[in-house]
Amino acid sequence: MLSMTPETEQRAAQLRQKLQEASYAYYALDNPIMEDAVYDRLYRELQDLEAQYPELVTPDSPTQRVGERPATHFSSVKHNIPLYSLENAFDLGELASWQGRWQRYAKENLAGSDLNLAEYVCELKIDGSAIALTYENGILVRGATRGDGVSGEDITSNIRTIRAIPLKLNLENPPALVEVRGEAFLPLDVFERINQERSQAGEALLANPRNAAAGTLRQLDAKSVAERRLDFFAYTIHLADSPSSQWESLEILQQMGFRVNPNRRLCASLAEVGAFYEQWDEGRRSLPYMTDGVVVKLNLTTLQEQLGFTQKFPRWAIALKYPAEEAPTKVAHISVNVGRTGAITPLAHLEAVQLAGTTVQRATLHNGDRIAQLDIRIGDTVIIRKAGEIIPEVVRVLHDLRPPGTEVFQMPSHCPVCGESVFKPADEAVIRCINTSCPAILKASLVHWASRDALDINGMGEKIVEQLVEKQVISSVADLYELTAAKLGDLERMGQKTAQKLVDAIATSKSKPWDRVLYGLGIRHVGSVNAQNITQKFTSVEQLANATSAQIQSIYGVGTEIADAIYQWFQVPANQALISRLQAAGLQFVAEKNEKTATNQSLQGKTFVITGTLPTLKRDEAKALIINAGGKVTGSVSAKTDYLLVGEDAGSKLDKAIELGIIQLAESELLEMLNS
């Protein structure tokens, strides 16, 4: 093995420095200082030296941008500083309302602040994927996705492939710790090139640059990520000694070696903000990346800190979004879909059209009232947009372009699946199929029954359910418990062993507790948490079936809508017959209490909320322990919450608990309370 000389070590350091300077000039300053051929030659020299002397390899070396081996998974990491989402404003009026809100808050809580001197920083809102970067002593040590804002996925190997992200900060004396936030995005020309290549290869096209960027960041092979050539703009920095303003933060980020969007402005008034917003409404269409709005931030760091956060958003920033993109297309067909609760929803099938970077071929029409209001017909030319840039909807019909011979669309008087008459509740716009044997309702009900939070029947997915119903193997949830491996033999890809496993999984579900059974019944508005609280009060199905709506409503967290839905469900003879069959099959309709849990009321009167994945307990097991000890479990954090049980990947509930000063417990602490 060759021994390394001081000259070799020095040469490697010089090469790293030269290559880093060249990358900074090219990607951050857009001002190349080195020919590509020269860069490639120096890069190859460094690569050869590191291959010969592996001890020369450093985390900030340009050769470490792409790893040699694909990752097998991404681990979850907790952000040192939460990544809050932004409140949205959709026009200048809503922006003015936001200004009024933060100013009122400041006047009530921040005595002595001169709010008339407040400045705003406007930055284009890049339509990409938010990421968090951590630097220790100037070296990139971690890159993570936003995730839920509290925790994200560690994608450091992929982050290293993005040339606009420095592996080493461009500072002589970097701080011990720096947190940088920014947006990774796919340039439009790269997006188009990738789709051209995929089209030629007969592969499905990428939907839009935003989704493509997020998907790219989660590729397990860093080399594949490098080929996508993602770009990056930094917009926030967190230091021990914070910059005095957002504008200064952006300048510091540039000095550190990051790309900062040059299309930004320091504004002295809301009128200047409006001018910037309107300028880029048209100008954004010529940009090499997608942007869907302007982020407006109060400039002074001290004012930001004083204003703080609401339950969800910073008070000192807002995303001023551009109007949803609209596009014309034609209605090729109108169909209706039957959901689990029997709701019949009309759907417009459209000639394919590009909208906000995606291909749209269907749009919801909501209900019959909306169809009548639009006067929409097959063959019409319509204007569609994405509500919140996510769900396509029909905005209006261009009646002047209507072809002759069109007919008014009528919502069905009978269910399109089972043929039974539909029902329209007096207080609802939706029509419903109320035939519990309807195949569409049955399919959705079976999928729900077998879901993880209900009876958790392993192996009973949508494809199996579809075959069971279409081949008339079963016509009710109760029929599941009469299945044998022989009866399942006619299903596609269902061998004897697989069939027996499914039968065994169904049999195992008989042991699931009463609250899981109640949730599995699929009563409207009854979620898994409410089912826990309801079965704590009504410990048998007979008690619940004989309860009045008012009695059910007396349960903590149960309102009129839920109580009425439960009461009405138990009045239906077909549902009563279903309960009888399930009881005969051996399902649990009585809450079990052993001697230990019956006497342990250590959590009496205490309200808990659970967030994240617990080390050993499933969430429903933790709920059962709390409820059996006299506690309550609810789905959302409020001032009435006593404890937040926190596991891995805790969500926004943790933020709210911190804000409200609610006690946080680990699983071990809960178990200690129960055993004390």
Q: Tell me whether residue 140 is in a domain.
A: yes
**Domain check: are 196 and 182 in the same one?**
yes
- How many CB atoms within 10 Å of residue 337? 13
The annotation status of 438 as a binding-site residue, yes or no, is: yes
The annotation status of 163 as a binding-site residue, yes or no, is: no
pLDDT in tens, 13-22: 888 888 888 7
Per the residue annotation, which of 18, 78, 125, 606 is the catalytic one? 125
**Domain check: are 501 and 520 in the same one?**
no
Token output for 225:
């990520």
Token output for 8:
């070799």
The annotation status of 549 as a binding-site residue, yes or no, is: no
- Measured CA to CA, the distance from residue 319 to residue 321 in angstroms comes to 6
Q: Which residues contact 364 (CB under 8 A, 6 or more apart)?
A: 345, 346, 347, 348, 391, 392, 393
**Domain check: are 188 and 263 in the same one?**
yes
> For residue 390, what pLDDT band results from cuts at 50, 70 and 90?
low
**SS3 annotation, 418-435:** CCCEEECCCCCCCEEECC
**Domain check: are 273 and 162 in the same one?**
yes
Determine the average pLDDT of the residues in 509-515. 93
User: In the predicted model, is pLDDT for residue 156 greater than 80?
Assistant: yes
- The pLDDT of residue 69 is 44
- The pLDDT of residue 676 is 61
- The pLDDT of residue 98 is 94
- The pLDDT of residue 67 is 42
The annotation status of 281 as a binding-site residue, yes or no, is: no
- Measured CA to CA, the distance from residue 515 to residue 528 in angstroms comes to 8
**Domain check: are 45 and 150 in the same one?**
no
Of 149, 99, 84, 83, residue with least CA distance to 320: 99
Q: Tell me whether residue 335 is in a domain.
A: yes
**Domain check: are 374 and 419 in the same one?**
yes
User: In the predicted model, is pLDDT for residue 28 greater than 80?
Assistant: no
- The pLDDT of residue 71 is 46
Q: Tell me whether residue 170 is in a domain.
A: yes
Average per-residue pLDDT for the chain: 85
**Domain check: are 562 and 612 in the same one?**
no
Q: Tell me whether residue 540 is in a domain.
A: yes
User: In the predicted model, is pLDDT for residue 225 greater than 70?
Assistant: yes
The total number of structural domains in the chain stands at 6
**Domain check: are 570 and 649 in the same one?**
no
User: In the predicted model, is pLDDT for residue 203 greater than 90?
Assistant: no
- How many CB atoms within 10 Å of residue 632? 24
The annotation status of 179 as a binding-site residue, yes or no, is: no
Choose between 65 and 30: higher pLDDT: 65
User: In the predicted model, is pLDDT for residue 209 greater than 90?
Assistant: no
Token output for 497:
């062993």
Q: Tell me whether residue 595 is in a domain.
A: no
Determine the average pLDDT of the residues in 256-284. 93
pLDDT in tens, 40-60: 667 777 888 888 888 888 877
pTM of the model: 0.49
- The pLDDT of residue 86 is 86
**Domain check: are 544 and 632 in the same one?**
no
The identity of residue 657, as a single letter, is A
pLDDT in tens, 438-451: 888 889 889 999 99
pLDDT in tens, 564-593: 889 989 998 888 999 999 999 999 999 876
Choose between 227 and 201: higher pLDDT: 227
Token output for 555:
């349960």
The annotation status of 529 as a binding-site residue, yes or no, is: no
Is 125 marked active-site? yes
Which of 105-114, 141-150, 184-193 shows the lowest mean pLDDT across its residues? Answer: 105-114
- Measured CA to CA, the distance from residue 88 to residue 91 in angstroms comes to 9
Q: Write the CATH number for 543.
A: 1.10.150.20
- The pLDDT of residue 137 is 94
pLDDT in tens, 614-670: 876 777 778 878 887 888 888 778 888 999 998 877 777 887 888 788 888 888 788
In the listed set 487, 510, 533, which residue is the last one of a domain according to the structure?
Answer: 510
**Domain check: are 271 and 294 in the same one?**
yes
Domain that holds residue 536: 514-585
Q: Tell me whether residue 394 is in a domain.
A: yes
